[in-house]
A and B are shown apart, each in its own frame.
Chain A
């Protein structure tokens, strides 16, 4: 059989195209496989749950969970909280209050250098604090009218307008930058200089790369590079974790946990977080003004069953407004599920069953939980409109009280009740329409006391009022599930979803 030259040429082209295609395919698989699974012995890749839009700790986005995770690796703080809720020194080695707890003196660590080699002094702390307050970011609201002065190169004094015993814990969200960083200093944040364990190598919207800081006072971290990849989609996070494209992921929901636990390459651990599912009632809504109505609504939802079915491993019935490891936690009597009593109480209180309550939440992961709540409320005849909103719209409406029931997973990185109970429940806060002068008095006292035991007692009394008046429903205390590749060692899960990578090591 003979082939015509034209046919032969076509065949040659076809073979050539096939070869090119095959090469392209192998190149692609190299790029995905090689970039991910164990890229080098001392590099790790993290699947970031939350977006990191900014690494400016004072900026408007700087207080979010995503940004804070990056900020704590680049910049150090005076103090930080440990997983069990105690405070440990970071740039400060010791701190003490004066007798009234209005002035706190912090002794700074000596011999600390910034990543550019410059020495760290008290002037940097004072300047950073001023910037932090002036920029009025979300976390600056914890320090109204506070001033910081340097008494020497290694000592700063923080002065509060009134006694504040929670200062060390509150300072866990204050990051120290070098002196002289301007308000919108984008040039600085492109190549930031800090005292943290890592320095920034690359910052793009989808990926942030950190390299170990040889000048870190605690010694350069063992891993040379940490890459945090933005993966808001849960399915992609889990796939990446199981294929080895990423080494660490967290926030794994219960439905996916068994699969991850069955994977022999992964270590899974859950840790009690500071987060509590908080479902405020808008007490300024006419229908919800009566505490009896709010209590009845709480009673009408079968939270134990919802938690058992939806969060068997990462949820437990909450017994206070704050999580157990938070300072100010006092156990409360659980609200019993009793739909008949709830319905009777609502009828007795004259509740209008034709009103449609608006339940707002953000984030699709909470949809099943809220659907279950709405379903239970509907069973006793209470109509609820479930509104899933974009984060930005949600926040705007939340502050404008444009809702009747608001669902939030409220975490408290300071592990101090002053940050949640003290900040969100006074009349002046105007966060949930609830106002009780007696509660205000208790909270003011708790905020001013320097005695830790007395503060716990006062916050306990305050919690009792909030709990019994059903300012909101407090259904569930949250555990975070972390999963990481077995070749990582030295990793400790963080209760706030802000894990630190400075002690992580890669073993083969």
Chain B
């Protein structure tokens, strides 16, 4: 008997341990993202960097070398002698700012279009839903490149270009949520009580989209950061005076063999961010996604 109990407690302890380990593992993305947020927010205050200033005597130095000013270039220097660490830090800020702005804009537009289409149904829904279908059929990156390429480079243009396609998924998700919610008893009750339609939308429908929208927003954030880096890599994203991972990676392209650190380090920073947001997004989807909408 005692043996049995021991075995059971042993198993329970093991199960509890795995559970704890899993919980801790699940927190890694939060830690990494917090790190990025701190680096992006505080880093620029600590590290001084001027993208226009070049120092040709210090070009292509290995990570850890000393530059002519006496400082240490922990991530090495690029083809014109600028510090790669500073570029990674400033690039993190640029990426986060653009990611947040784009997600905010597309979230606003997408939720507005989606709830309106889902709640009002009828011809408005037909027009909006078919519009979304048409936009979905269009390759997103192509549309982004066309918009970004047509105007002079600036942060605003990049945000607009990326939002132009990012709002669609928000609209689709919120529309389907709204379609389901509008049939609920409390919505009927509100309607019968004579609550204004705008109020019904804002108080009885929109709050229920929050879960899936937050889950989607994290995934979209990753895609936007990646797309911004892609645009800058192609040279149609941000102006030269802005610091962006995409630009730094593109600058190091011709030195891949001799000075791997220029492209590799910002590339690793970018992949780490994307992977962690992806994991976080999956967790959020599992918790708040459509399947758990009750």
Contact = CB atoms under 8 A, between A and B. Distances in A.
Contacts of A386: 52, 240-241
A235 interface: yes
16 contacts: A253-B254, A255-B255, A255-B258, A256-B254, A306-B56, A309-B56, A368-B54, A368-B79, A368-B80, A371-B80, A371-B240, A372-B54, A374-B52, A375-B54, A386-B240, A387-B240
Nearest to B59: A309
Contact of B257 (A259, A306, A368, A385): A259
B53 to A, nearest CB: 5
A375 B254 contact: no
Contact of B53 (A310, A367, A375, A387): A375
A407 to B, nearest CB: 14
Interface string B30-66: 0000000000000000000000111011011000000
Nearest to A386: B240
Interface of B: 52-54, 56-57, 59-60, 79-80, 235, 240-241, 251, 253-258
A235 B258 contact: no
Contacts of A309: 56-57, 59
B60 to A, nearest CB: 7
Contacts of B241: 385-386
A297 to B, nearest CB: 16
A220 B226 CA distance: 54
Contacts of B240: 371, 386-388
Given A309-B59, A388-B240, A255 B254 contact: yes
Contacts of B80: 368, 371-372, 375
A386 B80 CA distance: 15
B54 A371 contact: yes
B139 to A, nearest CB: 21
A175 B53 CA distance: 47
A235 B56 contact: no
A305 interface: yes
A253 B255 CA distance: 11
B196 to A, nearest CB: 51
Interface string A367-407: 11001101100100000011110000000000000000000
Count chain A CB atoms within 10 A of each CB in B60, B254, B255 and give the residue with the most: B254
A310 B254 contact: no
Given A255-B60, A375-B54, 15 more contacts: A235-B253, A255-B258, A256-B254, A305-B56, A310-B56, A367-B251, A368-B79, A371-B52, A371-B80, A371-B240, A375-B80, A378-B53, A385-B241, A386-B52, A386-B241
Nearest to A253: B254
B56 A234 contact: no
Contacts of A259: 257-258
A150 to B, nearest CB: 50
A187 interface: no
Interface string A281-302: 0000000000000000000000
A481 to B, nearest CB: 14
A389 B181 CA distance: 51
B256 A364 contact: no
Contacts of B258: 255-256, 259
Contact of B52 (A235, A256, A364, A378): A378
B235 A364 contact: yes
B81 to A, nearest CB: 8
A375 B55 CA distance: 9
Given A371-B80, A386-B240, A235 B54 contact: no
A388 B241 CA distance: 11
The 4 closest A-B CB pairs, nearest first, are A309-B56, A375-B54, A368-B80, A386-B240
A266 to B, nearest CB: 15
A373 to B, nearest CB: 9
Contacts of B53: 375, 378
Max count, chain B CB within 10 A of own CB: residue among A234, A235, A255, A375: A375
A158 B251 CA distance: 50
A355 B43 CA distance: 31
Contacts of A310: 56
A306 B56 CA distance: 7
A473 B60 CA distance: 27
Nearest to B56: A309
Nearest to B250: A364
Given A364-B235, A371-B80, A234 B54 contact: no
